Amino acid sequence: MAQIIFYLKSEKPDKKGKRSLIAQISLEYKNIRKYLGKVREKEWNKKKQRLSLPAYLSELERDENISTNILLDEIDRRFNEFINKNLLEKHNPTEDEIKNLLCISNENDLHKSANFYAVFEDFINSNKSDKAHRTIMGYTTTLNYFKTFEEKTGYKITWDSLNLAFFDSLKTYHYDIIVKQTSYFAKVQRVLKTFLKWAEKRDYYSGKLYNEFNDQEPEKEVIYLTLDELFDLNSFKFSHDRLNKTRDLFCFSCFTGLRYSDVISLKREHIIPGYYCKVQKKTSELVKNPINDFAQAILDKYSELENPLPQMSTQKLNDYIKECCREVAKMHNKNEGFNKILIKRNIIGSKVTEKKVSKYNSITFHTARKTFITNSMAMGMNIKVIQEMGAPKRDKDLRKYLKVSDDLKSKAMDQTWNSIK
């Protein structure tokens, strides 16, 4: 049985710490070798037979290691396909066939033949050092999405097959076969566009399919707590300690605008008198924002703990938040406060369906951040200041909050000045 290995030649490293990288195929006691270039010895993982991507590498060095790994993946793929084909045909490969298997004439041939999925995985790995964990999770989910697409439809994804026919098949698969929402398809397109532009810069891809993408998500209604709802929740006495802790985490986010990831990772050293100073998990941006009296009151509750806020299992946190709001809803009238009926729109391609849901069942932890932004605008806080405190920087992302804020202002005017007869 033929076998393939990659190893570094036993030789003295050159001035750059590099040794020769060798591909070796063993066939009937013969070893057929191919020199693949030189790589840095300290970055070679002997067990995995691949180069690592440590943080100290420059962008050029990182790209070189990625290209080498893709080359090894491609040789591995060719070898396995070749061996499986010969097993099926009961053919004994010749030495010349093995030598030809190891021949990749030039870098352009490598890039053209490089496996789409192998390059995508290297794209993910190359971003792990400077992208948020949730971003990497999104990349990985999208990669698995394409693998399932190929499996279910039989459409083989190669660099040459990334064309309009592929895009049409992808839309049919998304909307007619797995029946997923338009917003999810927009996210898939955004990740694919990012990947294709990354691959384009590294000469794996030369098309412009991403110009056909429409990766704008349908505008969703902003669900937030009014000030009355927020303070009803903040002052409510729950019979279960887990609900009181859940409420405090949620309301702290409502009063500060901090994302969930930043609330649960908040440490004592992040708190200075009157402020919190923290690197945001999602953006890696250092922010120093004032703590208002309501947020400080929550911190004061837990002044004896090691951490400034209670630590909770995150797995069911959104369920607990809904439970909190459901309890508070009992003190609200029908179709008011947390009992208000909302219309949830489900958009799948051109099909729009509507479903009635109660507000208390629509609240998630992310609602807290929306609550802070919306109410800050409604109370007249300067938009630039709100953006510095965590609101979206892009106008298109901020527009939905401005729209809600205008509605709140109109309602306030109707209840005050316009009520005078």
pLDDT of residue 1: 65
pLDDT of residue 348: 83
User: CB 246: neighbour CB atoms within 10 A?
Assistant: 24
pLDDT of residue 113: 53
Mean pLDDT of 312-327: 91
188-210 residue pLDDT tens: 999 999 999 998 888 788 899 99
Instruction: Give the DSSP letter string of 38-99.
Output: EEEGGGEETTTTEE---TT--HHHHHHHHHHHHHHHHHHHHHHHHHHHHHHHT----HHHHH
User: CB 305: neighbour CB atoms within 10 A?
Assistant: 12
Q: Which of 109-118, 273-282, 324-333 has the highest mean pLDDT?
A: 324-333
Assess whether pLDDT exceeds 60 at residue 163: yes
Measure the CA–CA gap between 92 and 94, rounded to whole angstroms.
6
Q: All domains of the chain, ordered by start, with CATH?
A: 1-114 (no CATH), 126-218 (1.10.150), 227-419 (1.10.443.10)
| Radius of gyration over every alpha carbon of the chain, rounded to an integer in angstroms | 28
Measure the CA–CA gap between 377 and 404, rounded to whole angstroms.
9
C-alpha pair distances (Å), 338 with each of 82, 234, 368, 386: 64, 13, 14, 26
Q: Whole-structure pTM over 0.75, yes or no?
A: no
Measure the CA–CA gap between 317 and 182, rounded to whole angstroms.
27
219-277 residue pLDDT tens: 777 899 999 999 999 999 999 999 999 999 999 999 999 999 899 999 999 999 999 99
Q: Work out the mean pLDDT of the chain and round it to a whole number.
A: 87
Measure the CA–CA gap between 290 and 275, rounded to whole angstroms.
4
